[in-house]
Amino acid sequence: MNTPATIGKYRIQGVLGQGGMGVVYQAFDPAIHRQVAIKTITKSALDPADLQYALTRFRHEARAVGRLTHPRIAAIYDYGEDEDIAYIVMELVNGKSLFHHIQDRAQFSLKEIGEMVRQLLDGLGYAHAQGVVHRDVKPSNILINDDGRIKISDFGIARIDSSTLTQVGEIMGSPGYMSPEQFLGTEIDARSDIYSAGVIAYELLTGRRPFTGNNADVMRQVLNERAVNPSEYNTRLSVQLDWAAQKALAKKREDRFQAAKDFSDAFVKGVEASLRMASREADPGAMADAPTQRIDPSLIRAARLLAGAPRPRSEKPTAPEPAPVPGAPEPAPAPSATATETPARKARLLFVDDEERILTALRSIFRLNYHVFTATNGREALDFVNKFQPHVIVSDQRMPGMTGVELLRQVKETAPATVRLLLTGYSDLAAIVGSINEGEVFRFVSKPWDNREIRKTIAEAVAVAGELEEAAVTGSAPPARISAGILVVDRAEEVFRSAKELFGAVCPVNHARDLEAAFAALEAQETALIVADIERGREDVIAAFKLLKQERPEILAIVLTEASDSELVIELINQAQIFRFVNKPVNLRLLKQHAQAALERYQTFRQAPQLARGYKVAAARMADDLAQKIAERVRSLKSWLRPVIR
């Protein structure tokens, strides 16, 4: 091979690599004094029938990457052609491709893997935002600088918004990293790149790709088989990493991460969880859960009132809790639930999820401190609840046959003293709102979870549920007339008039058009419930809700909002402990139902004021002047309900 002295204005300094279509050179740009790489196509090396297509792809790469400026994408500076070659002048990356590192059996730490995947997804996310889908994400197209920074290269078959380079039905990509839709030749979008990035992440974590064999074998597995969890090959990995990898590799695009950043965030959290797990293994004393919390007896008495019903004892037997006999099989507590431990006097936890890997992970976290049971669907879970009344139930939302929200709603009716938690992602808005309105969940546990946080949450739930079992209690309905009122905060009067008609004979119903009027009403009248129309642009009312729950947790709130405003709903759930949500236009039957439940809850607070402490939220960071003024006004409000335990 004869190396040219120059290509265009660029002085050739050496050869970086060579392929079937051409050569990649290291060169020097004399105009601006920088090192570059020049990728070439030798026209004579191609059959005339293939040449035009190859040149079209080459020009396409230059056009696709030429519009991208990002530190994780190898930049393209120039494009040119002459009679012998076509060439792209691009950023020179001082290092090797990830493919070469893998071939050399390089050993990466978990922290390094997390950083590489994060950088890869950062670059892909930027490209996707610019309308560019790579479509051939694989280790040989990921360059790693000597300082560890990565650069994505070779956008030769990328799709850009205006591209007609390929048509539906044409298969493009590298088989080991191709998504199901690429094998099928159907429409490709950013989620195909996310799948390919998932294959790379899996390979880095385990040292092998999820699907292997010849091209036909790989295609069959990609289309029909589920990958083995990475943690089965690498025991250092957390269930969060298993979850992130499996979600990225989902067969259906709608089941994958919908954006590169979502995958990145989940993967980084999974790496952090794995590192914490490794740290605990290095320090065995750190593995044990903290002892179950003990709560102020006065708060327990109030919690019993809130539960509204005793835990039945004579009609429904509790789960068997004999001391284990070495070598003897454990008795099956229920036909469709499995127990992991049977020590005496441990709280009973029931985890419900249709994925065995999730149940396995939860067992491993809690089996030392609790009596753990599992069920794989809602019907199994209800059978177990009806027979054995677990102290705490934690259910996934998305399950075949019965959703988590429906399961928890039925558990609320059949076992009201069982503390209920929903396992879900924050993106599942309908599940979150439904669980609040129908299931009265104690907390949300997000996937992927933090082991330390989920231990704390379960301990808090068990502490309440365990004490509730000790006494039979009954709830009390509100009297025909109560002095505490309902305050409707809304610029319009329609909801106020409706509330007045529904509850005017039961309690005072007041109206405030703005925040100042609302504070005046709260000062003048004992208020059990605030019904507020909150939309974007009402930062004053949103801030007031958050601050009110810090200082006056006994006041309940129903929010009227647009169903599509998921970010606002989630913000209010996390920071203001909203009692119920009602979508607009307002369904008066639902409003009446939720308001009645709120008034009953407030009557419970009257009997046991200390219970309101459970509705107090942590102080939110609001440093602006408006928030400070609202905070001062909230702190000055009279407390009608005394004593409230702080």
Q: Which residues are catalytic?
A: 136
The 3-state DSSP class for residue 549 equals: helix
Least Cα distance to 151 among 126, 132, 174 occurs for: 126
Gap between the Cα atoms of 162 and 175, Å rounded: 26
Give me the residues paired with residue 395 across strands.
352, 422
The 3-state DSSP class for residue 484 equals: coil
Q: Is the dihedral of CA 67, 69, 72, 74 positive or negative?
A: positive
- The answer for residues whose C-beta is within 8 angstroms of residue 300's C-beta and 6 or more apart is 464, 467, 468
Gap between the Cα atoms of 239 and 259, Å rounded: 21
* Burial classification of residue 390, based on how many CB atoms lie within 10 Å of its CB (0-12 exposed, 13-18 middle, 19 or more buried): buried
What angle is formed at CA 418 by the lines to CA 412 and CA 419, rounded to 5 degrees? Answer: 95
Give me the residues paired with residue 454 across strands.
none
Least Cα distance to 471 among 310, 610, 604 occurs for: 310
Least Cα distance to 212 among 232, 227, 201, 196 occurs for: 227
Is the bond into 643 cis (omega within 30 degrees of 0)?
yes
* Residue type for position 587: N
DSSP 63-99: HHHHT---TTB--EEEEEE-SSEEEEEEE--SEEEHH
Q: For residues 410 and 352, is the Cβ–Cβ distance under 8 A?
A: no
Gap between the Cα atoms of 364 and 361, Å rounded: 5
DSSP for residue 424: E
Which run of H or E residues covers position 556?
Answer: strand 556-561
- The answer for residues whose C-beta is within 8 angstroms of residue 20's C-beta and 6 or more apart is 45
Joined together, the tokens standing for residue 477 give: 């309905």
| CA distances in angstroms from 29 to 34, 89, 192, listed in the order given | 5, 10, 36
Q: Phi, psi at residue 285, to the nearest 5°?
A: -65, -20
Least Cα distance to 99 among 140, 146, 155, 144 occurs for: 140
